[in-house]
Structure 1
Amino acid sequence: MSALIAGEPQPDRRNAWPGAGERLFLVGSALAALMALAPILGLVYFALRGSGALWPHLIANVLPAASLTTLLLLLGVGTIVTIIGVGTAWLVAMHRFPGRRLFEWALLLPLAVPSYVMAFAYLDVAHPVGPIQSGLRALFGITDPRGLPFPEIRSLGGAIFLLGVILYPYVYLPVRALFLMQSTTLLDAARTLGAGPGPAFLHIALPMARPAIAIGVSLALLETLNDIGASEFLGVRTLTVAIYTTWVTRSSIEGASQIALVMLAIVFALLLLERHARRHLNVAATPRGGRQPTERALRPLAALLAMLACFLPIMFGFVVPASYLVLSAWQRIGRDGLPGDLWLWVGNSLTVASIATVLTILLGLFLASAARMIRNPGIQPLIRLSGIGYAIPGTVLAVGLLVPLAGLDNLIANGVRSLTGNRIGLVLIGSGMALILAYSIRFLTIATGGIESGFARISPSVDMAARILGATPQRLTRDIHVPLLSPAIAAAAMLVFVDCMKELPATLLLRPLNFETLATHVYGEAARGTYEDGAIAALAIVLVGMIPVIILARTGTRGRAGAAWFKRRVPASP
């Protein structure tokens, strides 16, 4: 009792709540886990229902090429994000040079640019008659549009480059946080023994950062697997693109499901890597009493190179596409004004994103409360399973959801028909609820992780005092937890909302007929080659995507603040 009066945290922060409260949390968590697993079960159903004749065609014509392309894409993107993310994190965390304070938050700006918007912009910017090649030809006095050798952006190499320069912040953020939290004891000992900056980095700092690197790379690769717009625009036939074309173009959902199962094998391999790395995430944390890292001033030439190394990723990952979008949008508005349906697209995007955010936050609050209040050993596996949706690419998620949603739609329609005699058609799929459900499944782990980080700041003695005074779990959540969690809930809601606004694969496949969002409009204009007409919608998406980057920069990109933001996005491992 003395510890409670002193307000000291107790070792076990989960306070058992027996009776109906525990059963409610267990049943709700089981339903959330089942909701997350429903797409996988749907994929298995479709794959088994398909004719065995599809497999010879897939094995001979689709899977080898698409699998090889996907693996090469993952290898290339993984290499780029590791080099850029680790290199820039080491520079800004451990060195002093002009502009370092600016670079430490500006290096996060590529997070605001979705991959399909990046490809949308570069297809026009890097075109033979685009500004980059035209400017280079004018500089060298070349008149022939084909007289300048220039890398082809519509290629696997182009996709690797573009995805690499927008996904490296997933590595930069946790690695930089880890560098800032590590003690200087080992580094000082290495310098005392005569090791220079290079050997100290390679043999001491880099091995300690390996867990954070592995987690950041795995998350970047999951985003790469989720990409469909950039890969399709650039002519790269990955497994994701093969799923989409097999379903939409060839009308074979069975074949799409069989390809999706192959893709899920890659996803689960990445999850195993992430889970293994997370076990050792704290090996490089600052020990008690250890000194924080000291910044090393760079000489003029080294400082110039450091500035260039930090500026180039920002330029290619944000400045070039954002500048193109601003210029193209300005020209489009000056010539033809705003598109007539712009506000319709904005309204559709805001509506589905807002509804999905509210649903996702409520589910996340329920699961985080269950993790805190219930001691039952079965609750944690259920919560981890409910967060697996973030690891499932949007295309795979959309294909797998069709079976459970179609069955539920038929059940609702048959029930209404038997009661009223009216035919109501497809309620969930036709109304957009399928899209909202897909968003909630995919981004539930962000909501749960964000709210759990807020719970970690609330002493368990608060819950114990409420129990002594007779509070029910519902009243405790409503009157105590929610007010105290409001900053964490707001931050999680912002992240979920922005991700819903930017999501393309699931939106393309599950949206109702004639339902356009900003993302699908950009995709349609890029597919038609009318890039300037889609620039306004693409710019709107980038501006929305800058919200979390600005908030992250304001709330702190140093040490544990950056690590806490990053952990909210790490998918749960089953």
Structure 2
Amino acid sequence: MDIDIPHTAPLPPTPRRLPRRLDEHALAWLVAAVTLVPLGVVLASLWQPEGEVWRHMAEFVLPQLLINTAWLIAGVAVGTLGLGVSLAWVTAIYDFPGRKHFAWALALPLAMPAYVLAFVQIGLYDFTGPLQSLIRDVAGDSSWFPSIRSRGGVILTLTLVLYPYVYLLARNAFLTQGRRALEAAASLGLSRRQGFWRVALPMARPWLVGGVSLALMECLADFGTVATFNYDTFTTAIYKAWFGLFNLTAASQLASLLVMAVLALALLEQRARGDKRYTATGRGAANRPERLPPWRGWLVAGACLLVLSLAFLVPMAQLLYWAWTVAAEQLDLRYMGFVGRSLVLSAGAAGVVVVLALVLAYAVRRKRDIASRLAARLATLGYAVPGTVLAVGVFIPLAWLDNHLITAAHALGWPGVSEVIKGTLLVMLLAYAARFLAVAFEPTQSAMQRITASQEEAAASMGLGRRAVLWRIHLPMLRGGLLTAALMVFVDVMKEMPITLMTRPFGWDTLAVRVFEMTSEGQWEMAALPSVAIVLAGLIPVILLAVQTERHA
């Protein structure tokens, strides 16, 4: 008896899935493209030079820009290094009246945007300011008083704002070196002062290089301060080329020179650190502060108070006074619009940047190879690049795409289309993402590293897939890191001026833009109220950072 056995059709071949490594690499490099595309566009302008543009810049623009920038970098480097290291040493090693309070309070100038301190300095110390007016009332003449509207005034202002970068890192270095380093120096017959120069300072070299490099990168990226002082640097030249001369080509080529300067600074920092290792002696050997004699202790306390007063207390008091005098006039629906747009932009940018940082951190965690680490390194380069450069680099490709979309719309019979992407918030959000991705990536990656492989393996053994592990394991455990990242980005966007100024849609003025417009017209009092709001927002992460530093000291 024949039995017919049904023949089932062969199963179709299972489609080959792409390797997970490729998927994760694609995610990492897609996030990195947010930064690499603007930088690539800016640098590509060097290969398309326009003869007349370069001749004009070489004859009338570049020489003065190079001289001004060189003086600024040299002055800020010397100022931040001297001020930051000296304050870090006395608060870490010695005990004097108010030491515990000065230890965290000396970081407060980080909350003061440089462009805010700039116009307060001019308002206080200019010829018509209260200080010179008092000098004339008392002595009859103030012509001997140094002009604040000078190269020295710019350097002083940026030094007072940026020295906390060196101070915080140097103090951490001195605290972690421990007593054994100084005891070893003393056993060799060195005094405490000689131990500082020959032991403590060389051991703190990586921290000092990192702090000065951060200060100089912020110096190169600064726009508001130099614009307030009318001190031309590359950032102001880029802005003038775009909005003054309406020459985007000249703006992009100036931006490319600035990018190369920033990259050269980053390479110099890496080379200065070298392969040397500097090992601390451990928390158990922490320094016990040496009690200074009363007269010397009060002298040190007075010096700390003087720096803190110049950098934060006096400017903040002046801002509050100005804000109080104009509050009744300024607190209207228009001012509420500045506040509302600032909050919307900051919150939106924080959300976008944190999502990108999470994707990048997750991709790097899944495959810890050279390609993923390189993508993360390149993606976070934007924080070292000035906002004016990123504004140009984001706008050029989006303008090119916008023109093609408009042409396609006209071809389809939609002649009324004039803008698709330009003039929207997308341009600003992309520039913010390129600029501040590093700010969100660091705390996100640090929180991601606290999740152990055994926790993921336990979740997988319970049948959870990768997506379920991300939602049910990673995100709850990353909540603190993600909140920190969102807060840092929120505050940075609140303070950010050049990207907002150069890419904002029509009518989207923020607090930072309001400050720029008022200071451009010399109306310091009118700029005070939005400045106070920006400073108060900036105090949040500074206080959290100071508390965390003291907790681990």
Q: What is the alpha-carbon distance in structure 2 between the residues aligned to residue 284 and residue 546 of structure 1?
A: 33
After superposition, the C-alpha distances for 1:511-565 in whole angstroms (9 at most, x for unaligned) are 11232100010000000111111211111111111111122233343547xxxxx
Q: SS state of the match for residue 184, structure 1? A: helix
Query: Which amino acid in the other structure matches residue 121 of structure 1?
Result: V
Q: SS state of the match for residue 281, structure 2? A: coil
Go from structure 1 to structure 2 and tell me whether the alpha carbon gap of 1:419 and 1:447 turns closer, same or farther (over 3 Å shift).
farther
- The equivalent position to 1:163 in structure 2, one of 141, 158, 167, is 158
Q: Which stretch of structure 1 is more off in the superposition, 79-88 or 396-405?
A: 396-405
After superposition, the C-alpha distances for 1:157-206 in whole angstroms (9 at most, x for unaligned) are 10000000010111111111111111322210222333111101000000
Q: SS state of the match for residue 426, structure 1? A: coil
Go from structure 1 to structure 2 and tell me whether the alpha carbon gap of 1:471 and 1:280 turns closer, same or farther (over 3 Å shift).
farther
Q: Which stretch of structure 1 is more off in the superposition, 368-377 or 444-453?
A: 368-377
The alignment-based identity, stated in percent, is 38
1:273 corresponds in structure 2 to: 268
Q: What is the alpha-carbon distance in structure 1 between the residues aligned to residue 261 and residue 247 of structure 2?
A: 22
Q: What is the alpha-carbon distance in structure 1 between the residues aligned to residue 276 and residue 486 of structure 2?
A: 26
CA contact (8 A) 2:182 2:192 kept: no
Query: Which amino acid in the other structure matches residue 377 of structure 2?
Result: R
Q: Which stretch of structure 1 is more off in the superposition, 256-265 or 199-208?
A: 256-265
Matched, 1:356 2:349: yes
CA contact (8 A) 1:184 1:290 kept: no
After superposition, the C-alpha distances for 1:261-288 in whole angstroms (9 at most, x for unaligned) are 221121011111333356668614235x
Matched, 1:207 2:202: yes
Matched, 1:245 2:244: no
Q: What is the alpha-carbon distance in structure 1 between the residues aligned to residue 396 and residue 127 of structure 2?
A: 45
2:4 corresponds in structure 1 to: none
Offset at 1:455?
2.0
Offset at 1:49?
4.2
Q: What is the alpha-carbon distance in structure 2 between the residues aligned to residue 557 and residue 420 of structure 1?
A: 65
After superposition, the C-alpha distances for 1:33-82 in whole angstroms (9 at most, x for unaligned) are 22211112222344444521221221111111101110110110011110
Offset at 1:501?
0.6
Offset at 1:375?
3.6
Matched, 1:323 2:317: yes
Matched, 1:296 2:290: yes
Q: In structure 1, list runs of 5 or more residues that go unmatched.
A: 1-17, 561-574
Q: What is the alpha-carbon distance in structure 1 between the residues aligned to residue 181 and residue 369 of structure 2?
A: 42
Query: Which amino acid in the other structure matches residue 59 of structure 1?
Result: A
Q: Which stretch of structure 1 is more off in the superposition, 445-454 or 306-315?
A: 306-315
Offset at 1:108?
0.9
Matched, 1:100 2:99: yes
Q: What is the alpha-carbon distance in structure 2 between the residues aligned to residue 485 and residue 360 of structure 1?
A: 15
Go from structure 1 to structure 2 and tell me whether the alpha carbon gap of 1:47 and 1:251 turns closer, same or farther (over 3 Å shift).
farther
CA contact (8 A) 1:47 1:254 kept: no
2:526 corresponds in structure 1 to: 533
CA contact (8 A) 2:34 2:433 kept: no
Go from structure 1 to structure 2 and tell me whether the alpha carbon gap of 1:337 and 1:247 turns closer, same or farther (over 3 Å shift).
closer
Alignment of 1:114-513 (within 5 A): 114-138=113-137, 140-142=138-140, 144=141, 147-276=142-271, 283-287=278-282, 291-334=285-328, 336=329, 338-413=331-406, 421=414, 423-513=416-506
Q: SS state of the match for residue 429, structure 1? A: coil
1:547 corresponds in structure 2 to: 540
Matched, 1:515 2:508: yes
Relative contact order, higher structure (CA 8 A, sep 6+): 1
After superposition, the C-alpha distances for 1:362-409 in whole angstroms (9 at most, x for unaligned) are 010111111111144311111111111111100111111122211333
Go from structure 1 to structure 2 and tell me whether the alpha carbon gap of 1:338 and 1:174 turns closer, same or farther (over 3 Å shift).
same
Alignment of 1:25-64 (within 5 A): 25-64=24-63
Go from structure 1 to structure 2 and tell me whether the alpha carbon gap of 1:277 and 1:461 turns closer, same or farther (over 3 Å shift).
farther
Offset at 1:131?
1.4
Query: Which amino acid in the other structure matches residue 202 of structure 2?
Result: P
Q: What is the alpha-carbon distance in structure 1 between the residues aligned to residue 411 and residue 273 of structure 2?
A: 52
Offset at 1:414?
5.1
Q: What is the alpha-carbon distance in structure 2 between the residues aligned to residue 210 and residue 503 of structure 1?
A: 30
1:78 corresponds in structure 2 to: 77
Q: SS state of the match for residue 550, structure 2? A: coil
After superposition, the C-alpha distances for 1:317-338 in whole angstroms (9 at most, x for unaligned) are 111211111000101125x352
Offset at 1:136?
2.8
Q: Which stretch of structure 1 is more off in the superposition, 219-228 or 232-241?
A: 232-241
Q: What is the alpha-carbon distance in structure 1 between the residues aligned to residue 511 and residue 364 of structure 2?
A: 36
Bigger Cα Rg: 2
After superposition, the C-alpha distances for 1:448-474 in whole angstroms (9 at most, x for unaligned) are 111111123222221232333343332
Q: What is the alpha-carbon distance in structure 2 between the residues aligned to residue 19 and residue 254 of structure 1?
A: 41
Runs of 4+ in 1 over 6 A off after TM superposition: none
Q: What is the alpha-carbon distance in structure 1 between the residues aligned to residue 235 and residue 190 of structure 2?
A: 46
1:569 corresponds in structure 2 to: none
CA contact (8 A) 2:33 2:379 kept: yes
Q: SS state of the match for residue 463, structure 1? A: helix
Offset at 1:95?
1.1
1:565 corresponds in structure 2 to: none
Q: What is the alpha-carbon distance in structure 2 between the residues aligned to residue 502 and residue 405 of structure 1?
A: 25
Normalising by structure 1, report the TM-score. 0.89
Query: Which amino acid in the other structure matches residue 529 of structure 2?
Result: I
Offset at 1:93?
1.0
Q: What is the alpha-carbon distance in structure 1 between the residues aligned to residue 404 and residue 28 of structure 2?
A: 24
After superposition, the C-alpha distances for 1:337-382 in whole angstroms (9 at most, x for unaligned) are 5244111001111111111110100010111111111144311111
Go from structure 1 to structure 2 and tell me whether the alpha carbon gap of 1:307 and 1:87 turns closer, same or farther (over 3 Å shift).
same
Q: What is the alpha-carbon distance in structure 2 between the residues aligned to residue 558 and residue 160 of structure 1?
A: 33
Q: SS state of the match for residue 354, structure 2? A: helix
Q: In structure 2, list runs of 5 or more residues that go unmatched.
A: 1-16
